[in-house]
Amino acid sequence: MVAPGKSNLAAEPAVPGWPATFGETAAYLEDARQRSFLFLETLLERGNNYIEHLDQGTPPLLKFEHEVVLDGKELPEPCNYALLRLLPPASMPVDWASRPVVVVDPRAGHGPGIGGFKFDSEVGVAMHAGHPVYFVTFRPEPEEEQTLFTVMQAEARFIEEVIARHPQSQARPVVIGNCQAGWAMMALNALRPELFGPLMIMGAPVSYWAGSSKLNPMRYAGASLGGSWLASLSGDLGADRFDGVHLVENFEKLNPANTWWNKYYNLWSSVDSEAQRFLEFERWWGGYFRMTGSEIESIVENLFVGNRLARGTMMAGDTPIDLRNITAPIVVFASWGDNITPPPQALNWIIDTWGDERAIAAAGRTIIYVLHESVGHLGIFVGGEVARKEHDQLVTSLDMIESLPPGLYEMKLEAKAGMEHLRWEQLEPGDYTVHYEHRTMGDILALNPEGREEEAMFSTIGKVSEFNAAIYKTWLRPWVKLLATREAADAMGKLNPLRMQRQLFSDSFALAPLIREQARLAREHRVQVADDHPLRQIEKKVAAQISDSLNRFRDQRDAHSVASTRQVFGATGLGAWFKPDPSDAEVARERARQEIADVREAVLQQISEGGFAEAVCRIVLAGMVSIGAFERRSFRLARLLAQLPTQSRHGASEQLDWVRLLKEQARITAVAPVEALNALEHMLPTSASRESALAVAAAVMMIEPTLAHPRSEIIEFLIDTLQVDPQRVIDLALKLTGSLEKVPPSAAKPKAAAGQRAKAKRPR
């Protein structure tokens, strides 16, 4: 007897690795044939989706129902942006009294929607947590004479409208800026800080000169093109329109293996499961939007080539945009798998803006960054795992982010599986524990192993770009504008290969009926071979070899671009004629030294002011610095302790704003840490007050796994310095945590469950 689908022609393959029977070979060939027709049908669907999306006016590709709140076209200075309010589904009830979240998508060639592309997205996470969510979208065509600062004014008006619609919320909106929208929101925040709550910038390039030859070869493109003049020329040839398809082409050239082979092979190889995901992404990726010539010129000159935002030289009219003016906490998300915005480009602005982490604390600012190990640029916005982990923890940690003492931190997440902690669910619900590790400028510098010396070359490139741009604008622009027409530009845009491959291969294609019929038959009589089939294994090896060869081509191309840029613009090339400017980091360090000295001189004059509450804050700050991190659950424990009866806090007879006190004391301890601790003897004059202060601090810091030994180096040091009984401190700390049983568990949680929230009046 022969098993079904098998043959008894041969017991072993004649050639190792090849199928044993003719039937197995025929099965693979039939599977490949069927996959090919299903693959071609998917490409037809992509073309149909593209045409349908154009016919609909290219709306944002959001998974959520929405309504227009404010249209930028109706503003005094019109633009093509609009503010949407997302309508929550029945499964995600929203508390309209809670803090609103505003998501701003990037305008980098493609259309809006990436931030709300899936239910597991920034929008979905925020809505699931009960926040009202707004979305800043844009249309495919800009308004006439629209500028970068027209858009900035419109976005400010949008946030004002969000604030006005939620008067019951005492907190300013959380703003999430994706990619290019990240730097745009930072610039707006620097000009209008009163509008913003925490600002989250996701995969946003702010320091364009930063990086390395391997992390982001894209930064060398400005050199090979001679600077910003080509962007100006493209906008002028379009009759004041720059086609975003050119930006998308640049992104695709970064990874030719994926653009030309991998994404299509992955679709063909697993067409039964991959087709829908492919179509969803291509529907967004294939929406090409345009800017005015002024917009792209400002972006390239100020950011891509000039790096002026990070350097503090970008202007909004006559006003400089200084990122030091941002007062609300800033959260930066970056990934090592991102070759468009690698971590140095996302983070080096901190060094160039502040110079010293103590200057951040002295100014009362909080900056937090999160580093992912592998996710790619687009995965930051559409990756389900990222949304369910990092985005979720960022949204549910808003209470902690705003309560953190000023300073520079890295946010770390650790799975709670297998761990046991005191009142874990009460202090930190969910699957992860979160802590914020203290960081220095040296830690950020260490993220780029190649250092920052090469940025001097990019200063030279910026100067050469200004020289070339001046020549173009003076001598060539008038003639180009005289000859260019909008009709010709529109026609050329329609002939772009990225548009043509979608438009031509649709149901209007001559062979489309044949493909549809064969795909139907393939689905009805589907033959699938296992992944371990010998021919399937050979197929995968060949595919991997093709991908590897394209990657080698990319690496050789990038290496040549880097080498030629260094040769032409380095110190022995044009760098000898166009001398680079002084290091922005060194300028920032000098300014930081003076500011720290000034703040230190001021705080030393009042170093002994304050009583029990201020002393507790200083001890907690010193302890957390000694530990090296602030625990999210520690702050929630501190919130519970603050609700205990007044007599347990010796001397704190009134309701105190502990977050404000902690921030004030952090400013002092940042510039005068030794003097701040030495002053504790004056601030805590009695043994009872000293013991109680140390006990509260120990309880906050030493919450895991028990309080049997609430000791740390700083607590031990202060026990000796303040001459108190260590056993009494331990007993008091244990007594304090025992008193937590009197506090409702919900008091420690950042929010109640979405379905249990009290209903507030919904804004109209």
The dihedral formed by the CA atoms of 471, 474, 479 and 481, expressed in degrees to the nearest 10? 100
Give the confidence band of 17 by pLDDT, cuts at 50, 70, 90. low
User: Which one is predicted more confidently, 162 or 13?
Assistant: 162
The DSSP 8-state label assigned to residue 286 in this structure reads: T
Asked if the model's pLDDT at residue 72 lies above 90, the reply is yes
Q: Which of 1-15, 684-698, 723-737 has the lowest mean pLDDT?
A: 1-15
The H-assigned helical ranges of 525-570 are 534-569
pLDDT tens digit sequence for 160-209:
999 999 998 888 999 999 999 999 999 999 999 999 999 999 999 999 99
pLDDT of residue 634: 74
Instruction: Give the residue-averaged pLDDT of 467-484.
Output: 97
pLDDT confidence band for 238 (50 / 70 / 90):
very high
* The predicted structure's pLDDT at residue 740: 56
Range with lowest mean pLDDT among 57-66, 257-266, 514-523: 57-66
> Could you name the CATH architecture of 66-244+288-416?
3-Layer(aba) Sandwich (3.40)
Average pLDDT in the 58-70 region? 90
Per-residue model confidence (pLDDT) at position 294 = 96
Q: Which secondary structure element, helix H or strand E, spans residue 134, and what is its range?
A: strand 133-138
pLDDT of residue 653: 46
pLDDT at site 649: 42
CA distance 423 to 325: 39
Check residue 557 and give its pLDDT.
93
Q: What is the pTM of this model?
A: 0.90
Beta-bridge partners for 81: 138
Q: What is the mean pLDDT of residues 401-426?
A: 76
Structure tokens at 164: 């006005």
pLDDT above 80 for 693:
yes
Query: What local confidence, expressed as pLDDT, does residue 540 receive?
Result: 96
pLDDT of residue 62: 85
Q: Residue 15: CB partners within 8 Å, gap ≥ 6?
A: none
Cα-based angle 373, 64, 158 (whole degrees, multiple of 5): 85
User: What is the sign of the dihedral through the CA atoms of 404, 408, 413 and 418?
Assistant: negative
Predicted local distance difference test score (pLDDT) of residue 8: 39
Provide the pLDDT for residue 635: 73
Q: Looking at residue 427, what is its pLDDT?
A: 65
Side-chain half-sphere exposure of 7, counting CA atoms within 13 A:
13
pLDDT for residue 28 is more than 90: yes
Task: Name the residue among 505, 402, 396, 487 with its Cα closest to residue 131.
Answer: 396
Residue 331: φ, ψ to 5° = -115, 125
**Residue carrying the six token digits 């622009």:** 477
pLDDT at 466 over 90: yes
Q: Which of 254, 642, 210, 225 is nearest to 469 (CA)?
A: 225
CB 628 within 8 A of CB 438: yes
At 354 the three-state DSSP class reads: helix
Q: How many CB atoms lie within 10 A of CB 252?
A: 15
* 589 vs 375: which has the higher pLDDT: 589
The gap from C-alpha 321 to its chain's centroid, in whole angstroms, comes to: 21
Over residues 624-647, mean pLDDT: 70
Q: DSSP letter for 244, please.
A: T
Least confident stretch, 523-532, 569-578, 739-748: 739-748
Task: Grade residue 2 by pLDDT with cuts at 50, 70 and 90.
Answer: very low
For residue 432, what are the contacts with CB-CB under 8 A and spacing of at least 6?
Answer: 389, 393, 413, 414, 415, 416
3-state SS assignment for residue 410: strand
Tell me the average pLDDT across 351-373.
96
Looking at residue 758, its pLDDT comes to 38
pLDDT at 712: 65
pLDDT digits (tens, 9 = 90+) for 256-295: 999 999 999 999 999 999 999 999 889 988 989 999 999 9
8 phi and psi angles, rounded to 5 deg? -100, 20
Each residue of 170-185: b (16+ CB within 10 Å) or e? eebbbbbbbbbbbbbb
Please, which pLDDT band fits residue 430 given cuts at 50, 70 and 90? low
Res 389: pLDDT: 78
* pLDDT at residue number 592: 96
Mean pLDDT of the chain: 86
pLDDT over 90 percentage in the chain: 62
User: What pLDDT does residue 655 have?
Assistant: 60
Q: Quick one: 524 exposed, middle or buried, by C-beta within 10 A (0-12, 13-18, 19+)? A: exposed
For residue 717, pLDDT over 90 is answered with: no
Distance CA 756, CA 727 (A): 43
Of 152-166, 284-298, 646-660, the range with the lowest mean pLDDT is: 646-660
Query: CA end-to-end span of the chain, whole Å?
Result: 74
Could you read off the pLDDT of 75-94 as tens digits, one per residue?
999 999 999 999 988 888 88
Position 656 scores a pLDDT of 67
Say which residue, 18 or 245, is predicted with more confidence. 245
Using alpha carbons, list the distances in angstroms from residue 681 to 429, 602, 608, 674: 38, 21, 9, 13
User: What type of residue sits at position 270?
Assistant: S
Q: Residue 630 has which token pair?
A: 């602030």
Residue 302 has pLDDT above 80, yes or no: yes
State yes or no: pLDDT of 377 exceeds 90. no
Beta strands in 139-269 (DSSP E): 174-178, 199-202, 242-243
